Structure 1
């Protein structure tokens, strides 16, 4: 293995995750939305997502919980798995595109419920790279004098934008696809400046805006009393642009990470690829040139739950990675086109 000269940016010492309710398969979702049997075949063939978890009851439309509920569950799981008391957390960072409210910030509701107080808290507004951004900020905070551990959370409640009263059969494919892709969830990790038993070293974090001069590939609107009757859709996605751009950006991220840490492609043991959909992930993995890396994915089972996905992947990675193993995590955000990535090594 190539020597790694620079010290780790931080260490992942524990992880946790949370998903609402029972998984909803494509047949159940299609029946509720009034779709015919071709729906299930279309989803399986072109999307590849088999299930998702929703923060509302599909039959009644009643909420099952909030993003703060999911963040609390994921955060508590991360604390408990690491044997860490709330008073041992010195800062909290949360990445999301769908906070419960504009104020108070969801991060502060979660921290309060976990019994964390008297520490800095930060909430980052972003899409699929928000978890990487939160880890980047968390690693910098962990390196500050007097800070030992930082709780990093990320999650989304994407499906609160569903209107179960609409005629889904009349929606254009650019809007209907969102009913298939998205689910809800949250993930959490505890970062430490120093290595701890079974921790994972973060060797490199990449997060960068690369969308200058480009139109957004994904838009998520926020309606207030003055504009909630506007005819524009709450969620809009240029899926063709996503299909064209995300695989290429993912390849650029892998190349840059490998160069930065001086690893050869054959030295990567695990790959945590972008998680837009099952089919998209398959195409991306096939083109990344890491045939020896074991894939760690979950989007086909839990849907695209936005910011939660990289941390859900890290939660799964912890059960599989062994000392000396190396991993790359890749995230691409299509809203205004951002790159995100991690180079990881078990210690």
Structure 2
């Protein structure tokens, strides 16, 4: 674990997010997919996700936004909020499970659009822990002394995996649930080694814990040709429901122990989010009853590597001097746990 020795060495100067198009409720999604009128009520009651944003036009199925589009918007918003220009960025790191294409990498497309050049850029291929992995790498690079300002990005566009003309009523339950869970979005934050407003990053870690364990999720790449015989996304929901709350609790405990913080010291907790109902189960297992929860998945859908940024955007607007927060993200594909801690000083 990277622990910053209780000193405000690095600061989260700003956060920006981007969601494509208007939010889509369960009833609208159900009508478009040919599902019964009661489907929306069932979805909200049993899954707990009410809305999501999609990068495709729901009626025509035509793509409207790419991940690069969303990442560019989020990056511009983060830089503007920090009072910085693209020329102030020394390094860029992005985490995503679903880049627009294999090459050029999405992070480099975003850099080009922002006018960023002559800096190191990194793109990490990862599931829901990718945002924290990107934050961890950026922190290490800044602490090495070679860079002062990092633009950290994360996001996913999963709508390209969904055929709007499919016979959704004929799908097996596991695939049908995916229609409910996932949304699209991107986020960005400015991490600074210079004195600046914003909470201090006190700790960050990521760790693979999947030795000998079957994947909880698989995502197959099949490109624009859509030549694929099976479902592009599959999950072992039972394994996820059992493992993620345990790994989340372990991650939060590891962050607290590394900083010698007590559970009662926390003002906020940013739990992993799969859906509204699942978040409640995770939160219960994590404990930390005195910490206020910062969640957004009920309103945004599970937009993968963007979720942490949407949580952080909400957190930064609430933090007061002395507040402490711990965030956790879990990747269930081959099981990665990750966490970080912030303190308003």
Counterpart of 1:37 in 2: which secondary structure? coil
Distance in 1 (CA, whole Å) between partners of 2:226 and 2:63 is 20
Shift of 1:7: 3.0
**Can you give the 5+ residue segments of structure 1 that lack an aligned partner in the other structure?**
none
Shift of 1:5: 4.4
What's 2:188 paired with? Answer: 188
Show the counterpart of 2:343: 345
1:222-237 matches, cutoff 5 A = 222-223=221-222, 228-237=226-235
**Counterpart in the other structure of 1:312:** 310
Return structure 1 stretches of 4+ with deviation > 4 angstroms: none
Secondary structure at the aligned position of 2:108 is classed as helix
- Per the TM alignment, residue 41 of structure 1 is displaced from its structure 2 partner at its CA by 2.4
**How many residue pairs get matched?**
342
SS in 2 for 1:48: coil
CA distance in 2, matches of 1:110, 1:288: 36
Residue 280 of structure 1: which of 274, 278, 281 is its match? 278
Q: 1:321 to 1:65 in 2, by over 3 A?
A: same
Matching of residues 211-250 of structure 1 within 5 Å: 211-223=210-222, 228-250=226-248
Cα shift readout 1:110-135 (whole Å, capped 9, x = no counterpart): 01111111100000000000000000
Structure 1 residues 81 and 293: CA distance shift in structure 2, 3 A: same
Secondary structure of the structure 1 residue equivalent to 2:61: coil
- Report Cα offsets for 1:56-76 as digits up to 9, x if no partner: 110011111100000000000
- CA root-mean-square deviation: 1.4
Q: Report SS of the residue matched to 2:304.
A: coil
- The answer to whether 1:96 aligns with 2:96 is yes
Shift of 1:282: 1.0
Classify 1:295/1:264 alpha carbon distance in 2 versus 1 (closer, same or farther; 3 Å).
same
- 1:137-170 CA distances to partner (integer Å, 9 max, x unpaired)? 1101112334110000000001110011211111
1:58 aligns with 2:58: yes
Q: Hey, what's the Cα distance between the residues in 2 that align with 1:210 and 1:148? A: 31
- Name the TM-score, length of structure 2 as normaliser: 0.96
Structure 2 unaligned runs (5+)? none
- Residue 228 of structure 1 and its aligned partner are, at CA, apart by 4.6
